[in-house]
Amino acid sequence: MAIEVRIPTILRTYTGGEKAVSADGASLSALIDDLEANHPGIRERLIENGDLRRFVNVYVNDEDVRFIGGLEAELSDGDQVVVLPAVAGG
Amino acid sequence: MVGRAASRPYAGSVLTIDRATYDAIVAHAKRDHPDEACGIVAGPEGSDRPERLVEMVNAAGSPTFYEFDSTELLELYKEMWDRDEEPVVVYHSHTATEAYPSRTDIGLASEPGAHYVLVSTREHGNNEGPVEFRSYRIVDGEVTEEEVTVVDGLSTSN
């Protein structure tokens, strides 16, 4: 099972500069665990207090995961995951 | 005033932007006042050339906060990836305070390669009149103001 995960510029320090990495997981939560195993430190940038960070957007096949179960969103082989920090401020 | 070429007041880099794009950002900020306006100027990856203005909707619709809609954010980035572009400028307006990044702006800044442009409409609101237009680098929570040079057109040589 392979899922392509698009990594934003700000998190590429965890992926050796790679724009996209391959990871496994039947859910977004499991996928992030797998990412963490290969790219230590990245989970904390995505998750806070057991939930996705408010200003990090994750999309599965172009759908914002907040609308499809959040960390419990189901994943299948060949899915495309994109991580994008919010563009926001005060 | 912009284009302080004679004296270099900032140690940082320079934002070079063409007049039409500059004017369009200012017009957007004035039009959306008293809510914050926001958008980007995309350019070819690695070029540092702000070529393609994309006005975004402030999904927060607020005088004190801005946020790109998450679906529109993905569409924007996919379009840039298809065109081998990156966000060269990320801009937003402050409508009651100076054109300096707020603590929230600094905390959420996530494009270390971008010029963060702040426009303040606090003085003239929707009306004619000068605005503050300033640019910064925001990297790892550190803000560095930079010079803004407005040119008639971006040269093709750099």
| B14-151 under CATH 3.40.140.10, yes or no | yes
Say how far apart CA B49 and CA B158 lie, in whole Å.
8
The stretch B17-28 carries a mean pLDDT of 98
Higher pLDDT, B9 or B81: B81
Closest residue in A to B113 (Cα) is A9
Q: What CA–CA distance (Å, rounded) separates A33 from A49? A: 15
Task: State how far the Cα of B63 lies from the Cα of B96, in Å rounded to an integer.
Answer: 8
The rounded mean pLDDT for chain A is 97
* The two three-digit tokens of residue B111, written as one number: 């494009």
Say which of B92, B104, B112 has its CB closest to residue A10.
B112
Residue B147, min C-alpha distance to chain A (Å): 22
Say which residues have a Cβ less than 8 Å from residue A81's Cβ, sequence separation at least 6: A3, A4, A5, A6, A23, A28, A31, A58, A59, A60, A75
Which of B64, B74, B104 would you mutate first to test chain A, the one with the most A CBs within 10 A? B74
Q: Residue A71's pLDDT band (boundaries 50, 70, 90)?
A: very high
ipTM above 0.90, yes or no: yes
- For B77, the closest of A55, A66, A84 (CB atoms) is A84
Chain B within 8 Å of A14 (Cβ-Cβ)?
no
Contact between B92 and B65 under an 8 Å Cβ cutoff? The reply is no
Which letter does DSSP use for residue A55 in this model?
T
**Nearest CB partner across the interface for B70, out of A9, A10, A57:** A57
Q: Which residues of A touch B90 (CB under 8 A)?
A: 87
> What single letter denotes the amino acid at residue A79?
D
pLDDT at B12: 65
Q: What is the pLDDT of residues B45-54, one digit of tens each?
A: 999 999 999 9
Per-residue CA distances from B144 to B6, B10, B61, B139 (Å): 20, 8, 28, 8
Q: Whats the size of chain B, residue-wise?
A: 158
Q: Could you identify the residue written with the tokens 């790219």?
A: A39
Q: How confident is the model at residue B9, as a pLDDT?
A: 60
pLDDT band at B1 (very low <50, low <70, confident <90, very high): very low
Q: In this model, does residue B88 exceed pLDDT 90? A: yes
Q: Which site among B77, B80, B143 would you substitute to test the A interface, given the most A Cβ atoms closer than 10 Å to its Cβ?
A: B77
* Residue ranges with strand state E in B69-141: 85-94, 115-120, 132-139
CA distance B88 to A81: 24
Res. B158: pLDDT tops 60: no
In CATH terms, is domain A3-85 a member of 3.10.20.30?
Answer: yes
d(CA B102, CA B100): 6
> How many CA atoms does the CB half-sphere of B148 hold within 13 Å?
22
A62 touches chain B (CB under 8 A): yes
Scan for tokens 């990412």, then name that residue. Answer: A35
- Substitution target from B56, B62, B65, B70 for chain A, most A beta carbons within 10 A: B70
- DSSP assignment letter at A16: T
Reply yes or no on whether the pLDDT at B7 is more than 80.
Answer: no
List C-alpha distances in Å: A84 to A30, B6, B120.
19, 40, 27
Residues in chain B closer than 8 A to A55 (CB atoms):
108
How does residue B157 score in pLDDT terms, banded at 50, 70 and 90? Answer: low
Q: Does A50 touch chain B (CB under 8 A)?
A: no
Q: Give domain limits for chain B.
A: 14-151
- Closest-CA distance, B70 to chain A, in angstroms, reads 7
Alpha-carbon torsion (A35, A36, A42, A47), positive or negative: positive
Q: What pLDDT is stored for residue B154 in this prediction?
A: 87
Q: Nearest-CA distance from A22 to chain B in Å?
A: 18
